[in-house]
Amino acid sequence: MHSVDTTAAIPALDDAPLVVGGITLASRLVVGTGKYATYAEMARCLGVSGTDCVTVAVRRERLINAAGENILDHLDAARYSLLPNTAGCYSADDAVRVARLGRELLRDMGSATSEWVKLEVLGDTKTLLPDPVGTLEATEKLVADGFSVLVYTSDDPVIAKRLKGLGAASVMPAGSPIGSGQGVLNANNLRICLEYLKDGDPAYPVIVDAGVGTASDVAFAMELGADGVLLNTAIAHAQDPVRMAAAMRAACQAGRLAFLAGRMPRRLYATASSPDDGRIVRPT
Amino acid sequence: MSSDITSSPPEVAVTVNGVARALAAGSSLRDLIEALGFAGRPIAVEVDGDVVPRAALANRTLVGGEQIEIVTFVGGG
């Protein structure tokens, strides 16, 4: 049985909510809808994760078995903001095409996030690393076309700055390759991304997208000062996805709280927590 | 044997999601969507690279040779 209530023990965050492209999100977790064993399991995981923003992909409607289930039958449109992606696109033009189809689907549904796109322009099939040139080109085109572009990118601070300069609604650096579960591999690059992107603009949303393997990866990204984390496989391919969804929710809140609280400085040597005064013995 | 081609109703040939398909001449995109059983379902339609909004489907008559994509949402990250 899963009846984890991760909210009860956590005090009020006293925190401004995350706003992306004019939409206010209650949760700082964005969760993908791919790779779940069943739609029912997906729906339970999303609910337990506490997310109110989920990604979806745009694919050909099946010409056979067209009466089959659609993922939208299992996603409460009133509860979740839908963020369509351009996953599987390897050129700027392809990504723009797919983004426009996602927008049309959302407009047809009357969705408040119809102008949103999670832009992915991939460089190669083995790494799924972003193509920085294609990503810049597609960002420029989509912004000009009125999209709120949430852009998947590498942890390169220079590219991140360029993407923001082109008008991306959120820059989303990868912690490590998509679906790799390696967590945040280059914390220093992420720190620089955060510093550059938030310079004079502290509310600019930076979401760590991709690479999360387990809860501590989420907490770590949030402790660095990310505004949110986007993940999918870490929940969907956990041994117990529903329990992992609860862990991700708690980790996201814990990491955010720790960031807001401000961590103590690191020191090379120990400092005793118990007083020296009043000891009945002496150090040898 | 001779076949009387004039007795066959004229058709237009299009490609839908990569599959060749023939429709009665004069068919609209909306006719195609209905023939495929997609009416009322969450879909978006692209013809030759351009999105055709749902409201415009009925007025878009197929002339033949169109590359048509009909998409929906699926799970993804």
Is-above-0.95 flag for pTM? no
Q: If phi over 0 gives left and psi between -120 and 50 gives alpha, with beta otherwise, what is residue A81?
A: beta
Does residue A284 form part of some domain? no
The CATH number given to whatever domain includes residue B42 is 3.10.20.30
Please identify which residue in the block is written with the tokens 């939208």: A72
Does residue B23 form part of some domain? yes
A179: closest chain B residue by CA: B77
Q: Which domain holds residue B36?
A: 10-71
Kind and range of the H or E element at A205?
none
Does residue B2 form part of some domain? no
Does residue B61 form part of some domain? yes
Cα A174 off chain centre by? 9
Annotation says A118 is catalytic: yes
Number of domains in chain B: 1
The one-digit pLDDT tens for each residue of chain A (284 residues) are: 455 555 555 565 578 899 999 999 999 999 999 999 999 999 999 999 999 999 999 999 987 655 578 999 999 989 999 999 999 999 999 999 999 999 999 999 999 999 999 999 999 999 999 999 999 999 999 999 999 999 999 999 999 999 999 999 999 999 999 989 999 999 999 999 999 999 999 999 999 999 999 999 999 999 999 999 999 999 999 999 999 999 999 999 999 999 999 999 999 999 999 999 999 998 88
> Is A104 part of the contact surface with chain B (CB cutoff 8 Å)?
yes
The CATH number given to whatever domain includes residue A252 is 3.20.20.70
Does residue A45 form part of some domain? yes
A21 touches A204 (CB < 8 A) = no
Q: Which domain holds residue A137?
A: 23-261
Which one of A61, A71, A100 would you mutate to disrupt binding with B, by most B Cβ within 10 Å of its Cβ? Answer: A61
Does residue A270 form part of some domain? no
Does residue A6 form part of some domain? no
CB contact under 8 Å between A97 and B46, yes or no, is: yes
> Is A175 part of the contact surface with chain B (CB cutoff 8 Å)?
no
Does residue A2 form part of some domain? no
Number of domains in chain A: 1
CB contact under 8 Å between B77 and A59, yes or no, is: no
